[in-house]
Every structure is written in C-alpha cells, then in structure tokens.
C-alpha cells in the first residue's frame, strides 16, 4: 500500500488563484449598495436646495433669533469680495454678512484683537440665545487684566470685588439723607407711617403705579430712567419728598415755594405777597408776631409803606428757607455776605449708576426683599455711605456648587456686554422680508 504525503504546497494547488477576479452575485450586491446608498443620501439632501430649502445641510439647530431663516443658508453663508457676491455658499460666516443685519459697535480701542462675530455668537450649537456668550471668549483677554480692570477668569471665585467697594469710595452726593431715620416709624403727611424701600425706589416699569406718599404733582412719573431700565429711576423732590417735606414759608399762605433755583423762588415770593397784600390792604400796618422771626434777623417793627412791608416779608421768608428749610438737605454757600438774599445751592449730584461697566436688572431679583442684598441700609445714617451689595452677596446665588449643579447663571454675559452701545449710530436695513425668509 502506497502512502500519499499531504503537503501544504500540494494542497495549495487546489485553490483557484483568480477567484477575486470573478463577480459573484453577493459581491455585485455589496458593490451596488456601497455606491448606491450614499448616492441616494446625497440626492435626498440636495433635493430641497434648488427650491430654497437647505436646512437638511445644517450641522445643528438654529437659535430662536435666526430660526426664521433656517431654510436660507445662503443668507449668511455667502462669499463676497468688495461687497460683490462671488459664490452662493461659504462654510464660515463672515463679519460682513452679520453686519448686513446687525449693528455691532466696537468694544475698546485698547483690546488686543477684534474677535470675529461667529467666534462669540456661535450658531448651530443648540443654544437658543446667541447672547449667551461663553465666558472663555471674555477670559482670553481679561484673565491678565486690561488697563484699569483687574484680572478675572471666573465668577465669583476669580472675580475681584466691585471697584467702588474695593477702593472704599464714598457717595459724592450733596443732598443729606439718613436711611436709618426714614426706615423707622416717622411722621407722614397724615400721621405716623412705616416707610418701605419701594416708597422711594422703583424701576421704570413700576413708576406708573400709585405712590403711597407722593404729592399730586409728583405722581406722573415724569423722571426719565437711566438707559439701563433695570436700575431705579432717579429720585425727585416732587415725587419722593414733597408729600412730607413741603417748602412752606408763611402760615398765612396755603401753598409752598417751588423746588427751584433761588431766583425762581424769589419771584414766586414777591408774587404771592403782592397777591396777599391786594386781598388784605391793611396787612402792611400789622406788627409781625415774634414767633415768626428768624434768630438774629432784623427788628419786627411795623413797616412804613406797603413796599417796605413787601420787601420785609420776602426777606423773612427767604431767610427761613435758606437758613432752616433748605439747609436740612442741601449744601448752601452764602458767599462773602452772610445775609445774602440769593445763596448758591450745590448741585444734588445723585449717583444713579454705580457700576458703569456692568448691567443689573432689579426686575429679575424682584422676589428678594431689598434689605437682603442692601444689608447696610437700615443702619446707614451718613449720606456718603455706599450701599451697593458686595460680590459675596451675589455669590450666594450665582455660584457653582461642587455638591450641586443648582445655581443661577454665572456667565460674563449676565452682567457685561462686549459691544459699547453708547457708540451706536443710526442703522438702515437693506433686506426685504422675502429675501430673509425665501418666500
């Protein structure tokens, strides 16, 4: 019996070395699927483009501000040279395309570089609001400090204390006011009252509501709020003070002098005493009661003529106002003559914006009572006290917790803006509704 030897070489001769050159049925199907399916997908994606719908090509959802042009990619993704369209599509949106619809004033002349619009306002990321700029865009410059600003890299841990508190500044206002006294149970126009912060401080949205202790002249909310509508409107004497602090000058007169310049007050007094004398012709012969005199003022001797009586009445009333009534709140300069009839009254200088480089919305914090943030108000007796809350107060809510993700927004955009809107200029739109929506 002959025994056959099976070697690998002998077994290898049984295989067809040209098997890969033959097209089997299964191989043909695999080829058609690998080529056909991608081709069908591309055709499906491009099917709506000729009709103006390129939304299928979008890498992600649009923000709600731009959702109405979601099917018109070429509105933003356009290539232009010297203002002339040279191509219908470009992956990166240029600043020129953004500025066709949006005005964007510059930031600071000292900034190291000017970022592209799309680097901060990133579209197709799922963010519903393009104003929610990532903090990293701001930190790339401000982490090293810029000019007058302190370094900042995160809020609140790596954010410096507010400048006005860090530098120990004082309120430059010249109107004397005692918060501690006014927050106690005090005498009001119709008896004793307990004042609240909102009796004097309100935002622009609330000025139209009834003011509990406002005079009839002060209820029209005529004071213009600051450009930052979230701040409190500036205080006015007519609306916030007159109901309790009327500028009365003579018990014989029902009305009070206007809260105006000394020359206006002088003219008002002359007119009122002329009218009084016309209604009471013999009044000029009456000797003035001692109780109405101002200490160290002239004698109360009867006047010799109606004109002399008129001059004395105006003089007495002005001395009462300058040296007692107005002096309660205002800084008065009598000049070289102590008995000057028209002293200089220092401008009020009421500060309405304590943080010019930041924004704040009182409406967003309406659930809080005022003194929970302005903690020093109830004990403040000095006009120069700055009652702005510390950054530690803000951090109680706006702080990332390591134990919990529950916290208020801590992004830079919440309080700061990149664009300097004070340099805003008139903007003229050039697009039609059909151009934007593709109708």
For residues 115 and 145, membership in a common domain is answered with no
For residues 151 and 192, membership in a common domain is answered with no
**pLDDT value, residue 50:** 58
Q: What does the pLDDT profile of the chain (439 residues) look like in tens digits? A: 556 667 777 766 767 667 667 777 887 788 888 888 888 777 766 665 555 566 666 778 888 888 888 777 878 887 766 666 666 666 788 888 888 888 888 888 888 888 999 889 988 887 788 888 988 899 888 888 777 788 888 888 889 999 999 999 999 999 999 999 999 988 887 888 899 999 999 988 888 888 887 755 544 444 454 456 688 988 889 888 998 899 999 989 888 999 999 999 999 999 999 999 999 988 888 776 544 545 445 555 677 899 999 998 999 899 899 988 999 999 998 876 555 567 889 998 888 889 988 889 998 898 999 999 999 999 999 999 999 999 999 999 988 754 456 678 888 999 998 998 888 889 888 888 887 776 6
Contact by Cβ (8 Å): 259, 335: no
Q: What is the extent of the structural domain holding 403?
A: 134-161+390-417
In a domain, 151, yes or no: yes
In a domain, 167, yes or no: no
Residue 376 φ then ψ, to 5° = -90, 0
Tokens of 76: 């933003």
For residues 229 and 297, membership in a common domain is answered with yes
Structure letter (DSSP) for residue 231: S
Name the β-bridge partners of 203.
232
Structure letter (DSSP) for residue 206: G
Nearest of 174, 177, 175, 145 to residue 159 by alpha carbon: 145
Contact by Cβ (8 Å): 204, 225: yes
For residues 276 and 322, membership in a common domain is answered with yes
| 256 CB burial (10 A radius; 0-12, 13-18, 19+) | middle
In a domain, 129, yes or no: no
For residues 237 and 149, membership in a common domain is answered with no
Considering 325, 345, 365, which residue would you say is the last residue of a domain? 345
**pLDDT value, residue 55:** 64
**pLDDT value, residue 249:** 92
For residues 93 and 141, membership in a common domain is answered with no
In a domain, 353, yes or no: no
Number of domain units in the chain: 3
In a domain, 45, yes or no: yes
In a domain, 329, yes or no: yes
**pLDDT value, residue 250:** 92
What does the alpha-carbon distance between residue 436 and residue 121 come to, in Å, rounded to a whole number? 19
How many beta carbons lie within 10 A of that of residue 102, not counting itself? 13
**pLDDT value, residue 225:** 46
**pLDDT value, residue 105:** 87
In a domain, 168, yes or no: no
In a domain, 368, yes or no: no
For residues 204 and 258, membership in a common domain is answered with yes
For residues 195 and 309, membership in a common domain is answered with yes
For residues 269 and 189, membership in a common domain is answered with yes
For residues 54 and 111, membership in a common domain is answered with yes
The DSSP secondary structure of 286-331, one letter per residue, reads SPPPGGGPPTT----PPPSSHHHHHHHHHHHHHHHIIIIIGGGTS-
Task: Look at the block and give the residue holding tokens 């964007």.
Answer: 104
For residues 290 and 219, membership in a common domain is answered with yes
For residues 210 and 144, membership in a common domain is answered with no
């Amino acid at each position: 019996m002959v025994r056959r030897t099976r070697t690998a070489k002998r077994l290898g001769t049984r295989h067809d070395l040209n098997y890969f050159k033959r097209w089997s049925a299964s191989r043909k199907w695999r080829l058609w699927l690998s080529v056909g399916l991608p081709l069908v997908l591309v055709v499906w994606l491009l099917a709506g483009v000729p009709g103006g719908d390129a939304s299928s090509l979008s890498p992600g959802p649009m923000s709600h501000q731009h959702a109405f042009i979601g099917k018109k990619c070429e509105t933003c993704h356009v290539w232009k040279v010297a203002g002339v369209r040279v191509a219908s599509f470009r992956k990166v949106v240029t600043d020129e395309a953004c500025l066709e619809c949006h005005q964007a004033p510059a930031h600071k002349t000292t900034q190291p570089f000017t970022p592209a619009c799309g680097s901060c306002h990133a579209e197709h990321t799922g963010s519903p609001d393009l104003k929610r700029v990532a903090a990293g865009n701001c930190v790339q410059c401000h982490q090293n400090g810029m000019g007058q600003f302190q370094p900042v890299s995160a809020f609140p841990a790596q954010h410096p204390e507010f400048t006005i508190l860090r530098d120990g500044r004082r309120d430059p206002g010249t109107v004397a006011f005692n918060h501690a006294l006014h927050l106690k149970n005090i005498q009001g126009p119709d008896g004793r009252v307990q004042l609240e912060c909102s009796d004097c401080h309100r935002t622009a949205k609330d000025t139209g509501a009834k003011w509990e202790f406002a005079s009839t002249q002060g209820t029209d909310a005529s004071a213009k709020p600051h450009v930052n509508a979230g701040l409190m409107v500036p205080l006015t004497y007519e609306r916030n003070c007159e109901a309790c602090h009327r500028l009365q000058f003579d018990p014989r007169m029902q009305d009070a002098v206007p809260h105006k310049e000394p020359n206006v007050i002088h003219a008002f007094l002359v007119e009122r005493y002329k009218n009084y004398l016309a209604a009471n012709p013999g009044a000029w012969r009456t000797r003035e009661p001692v109780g109405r005199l101002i200490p160290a003022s002239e004698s109360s001797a009867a006047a010799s003529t109606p004109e002399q009586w008129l001059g004395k009445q105006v003089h007495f009333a002005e001395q009462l106002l300058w040296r007692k009534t107005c002096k309660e709140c205002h800084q008065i300069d009598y000049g070289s003559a102590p008995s000057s009839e028209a002293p200089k009254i220092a401008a009020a200088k009421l500060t309405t914006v304590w943080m010019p480089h930041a924004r704040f919305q009182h409406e967003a914090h309406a659930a809080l009572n005022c003194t929970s943030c302005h903690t020093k108000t109830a004990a403040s007796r000095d006009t120069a006290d700055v009652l702005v809350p510390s950054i530690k107060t803000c951090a109680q809510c706006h702080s990332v917790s390591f134990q919990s993700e529950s916290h208020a927004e801590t992004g830079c955009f919440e309080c700061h803006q990149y664009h300097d809107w004070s340099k805003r200029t008139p903007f003229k739109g050039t697009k039609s509704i059909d151009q934007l929506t593709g109708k």
